[in-house]
C-alpha cells in the first residue's frame, strides 16, 4: 500500500517545498515504521526529495512486484529497498535505479564493543546473541568471535535470545550461575535490559561484578539501571549515505552495491573501568 510522505501538512507543504523529485521506497514488514525509514525521511527532506513509500509483507509476496509497478507508474527517479532480501527478487525495475538502504556496519560495531570489554582487562567476553538465522545477529556474532580469536582469548558458548528483554532475562539467569562471567556483549539493548534485571535478581551488581555492552542505543538505554554502554546506530547518516548512493546511480556513476556507516561506541556506567572501584 502506498503512503503519502509529503509531510504533516500534506499537499500544502509539498507545494511550498522546493522539490528535487520523488523517490520510491519499498519497506517490508516492521521496517515500514522503523528507524531506518525515519532516517531516510530526514535525509530526503534535507535534499528536497519527496518519498513515496510502499509497504509489503516480505519477500515472495505478490505485493512486491505490485509495489514496483506502482512506483514505476508514478515516475519515481529511483527506488530504495529497506530489506536487502528484496533487491535480488526485484532485479531491474524497467530501468529505474534501485539500491538497498545503507546500514550500520554490524560486524565492525560488534568488534568495537568486544574490544572495549577486553581493554577493561577481561580475559574473555561472553555473548548474548540474537536469532541464529538472522543476518544482523550473525554479523554481530562474527565480529565478537573474530575479535576474541584475534586476541587469543577463550571463546565461550553463545547464549541466544530472540531480541526481546524477556529472552535476555532468561539468558541472564543462566549466565548468572556460570563461573567466570565478567563481561557480556549483548547483540541488542533490549536483551541487555533483561540481562541486567536477571543479574540484579541473582545478586550481581553491574558494573561491580560484571560489565555489559549492548547494541543499538535505543532511547531508553541511557536510563537503564545502570545506564548502558552500547553501539549507537546513526540512522540519519545511513539515510544520507543511501541517497548519495542512489543519486550516483541516477547520474550513471559507479557506486558500491551497498553502503554502510560506522557505529559509535557510547560508554556509560555499565562498563565503568575496573580500576575506578
Residues 225 and 136 in one domain: yes
Residues 186 and 132 in one domain: yes
Are both 141 and 60 inside the same structural domain?
no
pLDDT for residue 182 is more than 80: yes
What pLDDT score was predicted for residue 108? 97
76 and 111 part of one domain: no
On whether residue 259 sits in a domain, the answer given is no
**Residue 250 pLDDT exceeds 70:** yes
**Burial class for 136, CB neighbours closer than 10 Å (0-12, 13-18, 19+):** middle
Q: Are residues 114 and 227 in the same domain?
A: yes
Contact 133, 162 (CB under 8 A): no
pLDDT for the residue 33: 52
% of the chain exceeding 90 in pLDDT: 67
Kindly state whether residues 38 and 164 are assigned to the same domain.
no
Cell numbers describing residue 208: 561491580
Q: Quick one: pLDDT at residue 5?
A: 52
pLDDT in the model for residue 262: 92
The mean-pLDDT minimum among 115-124, 151-160, 181-190, 256-265 falls in 256-265
CATH of the domain at 11: 3.40.50.2300
Instruction: pLDDT band for 276, please (50, 70, 90 cuts).
Output: very low
With cut-offs at 50, 70 and 90, classify the pLDDT of residue 30: low
For 85-123, write each residue's pLDDT tens digit. Answer: 777 777 666 678 889 999 899 999 999 999 999 999 999
Peptide bond connecting 207 to the previous residue in cis, omega within 30 degrees of 0: yes
What's the pLDDT band for 184 if we cut at 50, 70, 90?
very high
Mean pLDDT value across the chain: 87
- Which stretches does DSSP call E strand in the chain? 2-4, 21-28, 49-56, 79-81, 98-100, 103-104, 126-129, 159-160, 183-186, 211-216, 229-232, 260-261, 264-266
- How far out from the chain centre does Cα 185 lie? 16
Other beta carbons within 10 Å of 244: 16
Cα 152 versus chain centre, distance = 28
Question: Which pLDDT score, from 0 to 100, does residue 4 have?
Answer: 45
Given a cut of 80, is residue 12 above it in pLDDT? no
For residue 248, being part of any structural domain is answered with: no
CA dihedral 222, 169, 132, 215 (to 10 degrees): 10
Domain carrying residue 146? 106-233+265-276
Residue 241 is assigned to a structural domain of this protein: no
Residue 69 lies in a domain: yes
Question: Do 113 and 92 share a structural domain?
Answer: no
pLDDT in tens, 135-154: 899 999 999 999 999 999 99
Q: Are residues 75 and 133 in the same domain?
A: no
Please state the domain count of the chain: 2
140 and 271 inside one domain:
yes
Q: Is residue 33 part of a domain?
A: yes
Question: Which residue in 90, 93, 80, 73 sits closest to 50, CA to CA?
Answer: 80
Same domain, 193 and 68: no
| 69 shares a domain with 160 | no
Which of 60, 81, 101 is at the close of a domain? 101
Classify residue 48: in a domain, yes or no. yes
Q: In this structure, are residues 167 and 136 in contact, taking their beta carbons and an 8 Å threshold? A: no
**What's the pTM?**
0.80
Residues 93 and 182 both lie in one domain: no
pLDDT digits (tens, 9 = 90+) for 193-248: 999 999 999 999 999 999 999 999 999 999 999 999 999 999 999 999 999 999 99
Joined grid coordinates for residue 149: 580469536
- The pLDDT assigned to 174 comes to 97
C-alpha cell at 148: 576474541
Q: Does residue 256 sit within a domain?
A: no
**CA–CA dist 165, 35 (Å, integer):** 19
Last residue of a domain, one of 101, 126, 153: 101
Which of 57, 73, 101 finishes a domain? 101
The dihedral over CA atoms of 181, 186, 189, 193, expressed in degrees to the nearest 10, equals -30
92 in a structural domain: yes
Per-residue pLDDT at 177 exceeds 70:
yes
Question: Given pLDDT bands bounded at 50, 70 and 90, which one contains residue 275?
Answer: very low
What is the Cβ-side half-sphere exposure of residue 226, based on CA atoms within 13 angstroms?
Answer: 18
Amino acid at each position: 500500500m502506498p503512503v503519502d510522505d509529503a509531510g504533516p501538512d500534506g499537499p500544502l507543504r509539498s507545494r511550498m517545498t522546493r522539490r528535487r523529485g520523488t523517490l520510491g521506497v519499498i519497506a517490508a514488514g516492521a521496517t515500514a515504521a522503523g528507524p531506518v525509514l525515519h532516517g531516510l525521511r530526514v535525509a530526503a527532506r534535507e535534499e528536497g526529495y519527496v518519498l513515496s513509500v510502499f509497504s509489503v509483507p516480505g519477500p515472495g509476496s505478490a505485493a512486491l512486484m505490485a509495489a514496483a509497478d506502482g512506483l514505476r507508474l508514478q515516475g519515481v527517479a529511483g527506488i530504495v529497498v529497506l530489506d536487502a532480501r528484496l533487491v535480488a527478487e526485484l532485479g531491474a525495475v524497467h530501468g529505474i535505479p534501485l539500491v538497498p538502504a545503507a546500514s550500520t556496519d554490524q560486524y565492525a560495531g560488534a568488534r568495537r564493543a568486544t574490544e572495549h570489554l577486553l581493554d577493561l582487562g577481561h580475559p574473555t567476553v561472553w555473548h548474548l546473541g540474537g536469532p541464529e538465522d538472522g543476518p544482523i545477529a550473525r554479523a554481530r556474532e562474527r565480529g565478537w568471535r573474530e575479535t576474541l580469536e584475534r586476541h587469543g582469548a577463550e571463546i565461550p558458548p553463545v547464549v541466544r535470545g530472540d531480541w526481546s528483554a524477556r529472552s535476555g532475562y532468561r539468558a541472564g539467569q543462566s549466565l548468572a550461575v556460570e563461573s567466570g562471567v565478567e563481561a557480556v556483549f549483548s547483540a541488542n539493548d533490549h536483551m541487555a535490559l533483561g540481562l541486567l534485571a536477571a543479574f540484579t535478581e541473582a545478586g550481581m551488581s553491574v558494573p561491580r561484578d560484571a560489565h555489559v555492552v549492548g547494541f543499538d542505543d535505543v532511547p531508553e538505554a541511557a536510563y537503564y539501571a545502570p545506564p548502558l554502554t552500547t553501539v549507537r546506530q546513526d540512522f540519519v547518516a545511513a539515510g544520507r549515505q543511501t541517497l548519495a548512493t542512489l543519486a550516483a546511480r541516477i547520474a550513471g556513476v559507479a557506486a558500491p552495491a551497498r553502503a554502510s556507516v560506522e557505529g559509535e561506541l557510547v560508554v556509560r556506567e555499565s562498563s565503568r573501568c575496573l580500576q575506578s572501584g
